[in-house]
Structure 1
Amino acid sequence: MRAGALILITLAAPAAARDPLFGLPIDCDLSDTCYIQQFVDHDPSAGVTDFACGSLTYDGHKGTDFALPSLAMQAQGVNVIAAAPGTVRGIRNDMVDILQGHAGAPDVSSKECGNGVVIDHGNGWETQYCHMAQGSVIVRSGDQVAMGQVLGQVGLSGQTQFPHVHLSVRHNGEVVDPFDPNDEATCGPSDTTLWIDEPPTPAGGLISTGFAPNVPDYADIKAGTAGVVELDKYGNIVLWGFSFGVQSGDEMTFEIIGPSGPIFEHVEALTRDQAMVFRASGKRAPASGWDTGDYAGMVTLQRDGTELDRQVINVTVR
């Protein structure tokens, strides 16, 4: 998913000998098929700051969001798994799967988590897993679960606008950021995290890219249905990129190479901070049509001259 991404990885020690260590709460590959969209907010004011002194969070966010790149992937079924062994303390399993902002979305006041599971890990530690699919939760209160045991599947329930599982870690009722459990404000991964193997934490990146005959609808981008594998030689060639965690001043570069060499390059300046955004650029066919054959598109996201992410996609022109 992220060839060449700028990733921060550490092999950190646990916060303290008594503290639990956690694995991922989702059965996917963070370097390829899923990504972290948002972190815990460390700013007690109306501002926002994640553990790396960045802006991949929102005001008052109390967990880590492990996101899927599309609704299509969510529909195929992705397991939510226990991040550590413990006892199931509670579940919810009957809320509908409708993204907030869509037609028919229910009022989720006081039920923002949607369908989910709470696990007690002992000594005041617990984890909560939110936005799971209706009817997918397969554990019950009182069950003993092992690390990595399937709890259910990623859904669209509760206060959510994209498919993901929200993981909250709490100790004696207080929110703990597993990336910085001691709130050390180091502007990067702490030397004492709660992860067994710390997940990659890019400061932003590309969720997906693709070719299309015209600029696609945003709904199709999010659904995972916007990309095509073939284009008409007399039609447009459009290359698009779907990104997360972009900041004002970032640049998205689009390059298309045809059978005879480069045919197009465009740099798009991003002018504001956005949790998610897509951009597209392309070219109309010449009167004689495009050369038939295989074309490669490369989308690059840069910040302050540093490449955050790059994806390469192919299409055949007939």
Structure 2
Amino acid sequence: MSVEAKNRVAGCYFGTLIGLFAISSGFAEGSSPHFISPVNCSVPSECTIQNYVDARPGTGHRDYTCGTLSYERHKGTDFRVLSYDLYLKGVPVLAAADGIVLRKRNNADEGDYILKGNEAVKQREIGNGVIIEHTNGWETTYAHLKKGSVTVSPGDRVNAGDVIGIIGLSGKTEFPHLHFQVTHNQELRDPFTGKKPSGCGEITKDALWDKSLQKDFGYKGTGIIDTGFAAEIPKHKLLAFRSEQKRISVQRDPKILLYWAELWGVKIADRLTISYENPLGEITKDQKALKKNQASYFKYIGKKRPKDGWIPGVYTGHITLERLVNGEWKIIASRQKTQVLP
């Protein structure tokens, strides 16, 4: 790349596209890209796709399967980390194909939208991020990265799989995830169909993902985000903050002991069972039928410290989500976690 071209790229910012570059990439001239996973975590066991591109033009929303995992005018694919511990350790974001970095932002604060509201992220909705240009008019955007984690600069050439940042909580988001967005000649493309969104139920033979991801990236509409024990009632929207994890952490002889669970993609009439077992095998259980579809659902169960103190040993929390399939209850998701009290 010439010095003049490199200077032109370096002058770009998150806004209007400036400059086009002829580059080599991970896909052949004239063909569509084959993107690798943009997150360095196992999908669907460590990370999941919680939201897809809105496939329905106009009002209302649907994902590419005609399911409800999207929201109105959502333009990307959201990769969410399925453990707050793993998120806080740091999950790298990867370039999904060879290309040249067009723009970046690296100084947006974490959690501004949760803590301060919409005005705090106005015109900075994607937070910290990177935009990469590939060949033949294709671009990818990586949004909501951790402040200070972006490792590339405008004009840098990257290869598929290069680390470009860390999943964060910057910009307009209520939960930690990577928002991955694809455009072709500045028009939005759904990577699961390869096409401009025009309605759900589209065939996926032209999907832009590498074929090796077909099984891992198969559609999963519901699951468990995380579970845990707590010594205080958790503030759901703050669970991704280290300060909240410290506040609710179970220390010696807590006043209360709770077991909590967070789920995504729950459906109306699903049956949710959450239980809490003490070291003597005594079980407290709560079961309910859910009344509506929800992208995120939070539930907890627990007890106050007994008059005689806690029974030493292992406490076990268990969460099970069931759904009626052909007239029979089927377990959709299940998880348990233990906590030892001295």
Output the TM-score relative to the length of structure 1.
0.82
Distance change (3 Å), C-alpha of 1:230 and 1:297: farther
Once the two structures are TM-superposed, the CA of residue 124 in structure 1 deviates from its matched residue by: 1.7
Tell me the equivalent position of 1:205: 223
Once the two structures are TM-superposed, the CA of residue 207 in structure 1 deviates from its matched residue by: 0.8
Q: How does 1:113-152 map to 2 (within 5 A)?
A: 113-152=126-165
The question of whether the paired residues in 1 share the 8 Å contact of 2:175 and 2:237 is answered with: no
Tell me the equivalent position of 1:315: 339
The question of whether the paired residues in 2 share the 8 Å contact of 1:52 and 1:189 is answered with: no
Q: How does 1:190-201 map to 2 (within 5 A)?
A: 190-196=204-210, 197-198=213-214, 199-201=217-219
- Aligned residue identity for 1:92: R
> In 1, Cα distance between the equivalents of 2:305 and 2:172?
43
The question of whether the paired residues in 2 share the 8 Å contact of 1:229 and 1:316 is answered with: no
Distance change (3 Å), C-alpha of 1:176 and 1:295: same
Secondary structure of 1:67 counterpart: strand
Residue 33 (str. 1) matches residue 46 (str. 2): yes
Q: How does 1:229-268 map to 2 (within 5 A)?
A: 232=253, 236-268=256-288
Secondary structure of 1:57 counterpart: coil
Once the two structures are TM-superposed, the CA of residue 229 in structure 1 deviates from its matched residue by: 5.7
Once the two structures are TM-superposed, the CA of residue 91 in structure 1 deviates from its matched residue by: 1.9
The question of whether the paired residues in 1 share the 8 Å contact of 2:87 and 2:176 is answered with: yes
> In 1, Cα distance between the equivalents of 2:88 and 2:341?
30
The question of whether the paired residues in 2 share the 8 Å contact of 1:253 and 1:267 is answered with: yes
- Aligned residue identity for 1:217: K
Identical positions, percent: 36
Structure 1 runs (4+) deviating above 6 angstroms are none
Distance change (3 Å), C-alpha of 1:179 and 1:216: same
Once the two structures are TM-superposed, the CA of residue 297 in structure 1 deviates from its matched residue by: 1.8
Q: Deviations over 1:195-253 (max 9, x none)?
A: 12132432021111122345433245443727656774x96543211112223322221
Once the two structures are TM-superposed, the CA of residue 74 in structure 1 deviates from its matched residue by: 4.2
Which deviates more from structure 2 when the two are superposed, residues 39-48 or residues 98-107?
98-107
Q: How does 1:64-213 map to 2 (within 5 A)?
A: 64-69=77-82, 73-103=86-116, 107-182=120-195, 187=201, 190-196=204-210, 197-198=213-214, 199-213=217-231
Once the two structures are TM-superposed, the CA of residue 265 in structure 1 deviates from its matched residue by: 2.3
> In 1, Cα distance between the equivalents of 2:178 and 2:225?
16
Secondary structure of 1:100 counterpart: helix
Distance change (3 Å), C-alpha of 1:288 and 1:200: farther
Secondary structure of 1:278 counterpart: strand
Once the two structures are TM-superposed, the CA of residue 38 in structure 1 deviates from its matched residue by: 0.9
Distance change (3 Å), C-alpha of 1:308 and 1:231: farther
Distance change (3 Å), C-alpha of 1:75 and 1:295: closer
Tell me the equivalent position of 2:319: 299
Output the TM-score relative to the length of structure 2.
0.77
The question of whether the paired residues in 1 share the 8 Å contact of 2:174 and 2:237 is answered with: no
> In 2, Cα distance between the equivalents of 1:184 and 1:65?
20
- Runs of at least 5 residues in structure 1 that lack an aligned partner in the other structure: 1-13
> In 1, Cα distance between the equivalents of 2:123 and 2:116?
20
Q: Which has the higher helix share?
A: 2
> In 1, Cα distance between the equivalents of 2:203 and 2:274?
32
- Aligned residue identity for 2:286: H
Looking at CA atoms only, which structure, 1 or 2, has the larger radius of gyration?
2
- Runs of at least 5 residues in structure 2 that lack an aligned partner in the other structure: 1-26
Distance change (3 Å), C-alpha of 1:192 and 1:315: same
Secondary structure of 1:268 counterpart: strand
Secondary structure of 1:261 counterpart: coil
Q: Deviations over 1:25-57 (max 9, x none)?
A: 122222333222211000112111001211111
Distance change (3 Å), C-alpha of 1:235 and 1:139: closer
> In 1, Cα distance between the equivalents of 2:133 and 2:317?
48
Secondary structure of 2:227 counterpart: strand
Q: Deviations over 1:54-94 (max 9, x none)?
A: 11111000000112346664443322110111122222223
